[in-house]
Amino acid sequence: MIDLPLDQTAERVLDEVTGSDRSVLVEHLWTRLRTEPTGMVAELVSRIDLPTSPTSIDRTVLLERAGREAELYGDVTVRCEYLPLGWLRALSDTDTGRGLATAREKFQLLRADWALAQYERLTPPPSTGDSDRPVVVLVAGVPGTGKSTVAERLGRVVNAPVFSMDWQLGAVVGFGVLRPDNRSPMAELMMTSAVARQLSLGMSAIIDATGHTRAQRIQWRSITERMGGRFVGVECVCSDEKAQRSRLEARSRGIPCWPDTVSWEHVQHMKKLWEPWEESHLLLDSAANSPEENLRRVLDLVEGAGQ
């Protein structure tokens, strides 16, 4: 393990809550972190369930555990955000420390929110008129509904790049960076980065992703419109579960380093996670319409998006 140094803010905070015996008073540490204006630690502490027992921890032990968390996330210093994670890691063998996995997930979501906010502040390119505005099409749906088929056909017709979440994730599998706590936030951020870059060049893009949360869809719409583009939402469904399951079992997508398909249990799980799409969008049923008909309907909407 690399011995990572404390950053200045974390060192100051720890000095304020360390007793004469070099132990850190846990309750005082959480109270202090809740008022820290820098970084995202105050929000993190407010979101996670931090045990206050035992009431203290040896400073060296806390720093060693926090350093492991910082190293896990590829950081070069131990910032305040790693102190509560280090505390939970120190308690990971006890009942009170079983919230580490949940805390990591919430930390990753916070990091993603912070990064996504940077994209919201991007400067849009100069406007060249409504007819030349770029279009971002989100083709969303659970696996087996035909969304990739629609996205890929649309990309060929309108000559726009198709950014697939599975292709993005497959590219980083070999580096060992994917974990349950960072997979979704990392995928969303990579997709956002790719689309934002296209928009900054005044060019269109297509997103091929599950898009199961309302916040995710709103985020992509917001960035598109902020960058002067037009957003088109497409929700793919399949009203014939037998056909949908058959597609999943037969498909072989050929994505490097990524599974060819997913289980039916995974599809059922994603259906439960799907949040209603209340904003205006196009609904396509791959069981009721042919791929050609679905493509035509999307093209009609894309071509009329600025009207």
**Amino acid present at 297:** R
Angle CA 278–130–279, to nearest 5: 0
Dump pLDDT digits (tens) for 147-197. Answer: 999 999 999 999 999 999 999 999 988 888 888 888 888 889 999 999 999
Q: What is the spatial distance between Cα 151 and Cα 32, in angstroms, rounded to a whole number?
A: 49
Same domain for 171 and 274, yes or no, is yes
90 shares its domain with 141: no
CB 81 within 8 A of CB 29: no
State the chain's maximal CA–CA distance in angstroms.
74
Q: Is residue 121 part of a domain?
A: no
In angstroms, what CA-CA distances link 177 with 181, 193, 284?
11, 18, 35
Domain tally, the chain: 2
With a pLDDT cut of 90, the percent of the chain lying above it is 78
Residue 177 belongs to some domain of the structure: yes
- Out of 52, 74, 107, pick the residue that ends a domain: 107
Is 113 part of any domain? no
Structural domain contains residue 133: yes
Distance from C-alpha of 158 to C-alpha of 8, rounded to nearest angstrom: 51
Pair (80, 154) in one structural domain: no
Q: How far apart are CA 39 and CA 81, in angstroms?
A: 8
Residue 306: pLDDT band (50, 70, 90) is very low
Is residue 266 assigned to a domain? Answer: yes
- What Å distances lie between residue 267 and 236, 241, 248, 252, 253, CA to CA? 13, 10, 9, 16, 16
CA distance linking residue 195 with residue 131, whole number of Å = 19
Shared domain check, 140 and 96: no
Same domain, 196 and 52: no
Does one domain contain both 174 and 293? yes
At 159, list the tokens.
């000559």
Residue type at position 233: G
For 15-44, the pLDDT digits (tens) are 999 999 999 999 999 999 999 998 899 999
Mark whether 297 and 213 lie in a shared domain.
yes
| CATH code at position 170 | 3.40.50.300
**Considering the domain boundaries, does residue 173 fall inside one?**
yes
Which residues form the domain of 289?
128-303
Sequence-ordered list of residues with C-beta below 8 angstroms from that of 301, at least 6 positions apart, any chain: 232, 234, 282
The yes-or-no verdict on residue 73 having pLDDT over 70 is yes
Residues 56 and 97 in one domain: yes
Give the Cα separation of 124 and 137 in Å (integer).
18
Residue 93 clears pLDDT 80, i.e. is over it: no
- Is 138 inside a domain boundary? yes
| Average pLDDT of the residues in 97-120 | 90
pTM for this predicted structure: 0.82
Provide the pLDDT confidence category of residue 225 given band limits of 50, 70 and 90. Answer: very high
Does 85 lie in the same domain as 148?
Answer: no
Contacts of 177 (CB under 8 A, 6+ apart): 186
The residue type found at 21 is: D
- Whether 52 and 161 share a structural domain: no
The last residue of one of the domains, among 45, 74, 107, is 107
Q: Is there a contact between 189 and 177 (Cβ–Cβ < 8 Å)?
A: no
Q: Same domain, yes or no, for 102 and 46?
A: yes
Residues 268 and 185 in one domain: yes
Q: DSSP assignment of 89-121, as one string? A: HHTTTSGGGTTHHHHHHHHHHHHHHHHHHHHHT
AA identity, residue 199: L
Q: 120 lies in a domain? A: no
User: Count of alpha carbons within 13 Å of 75, Cβ hemisphere only?
Assistant: 18
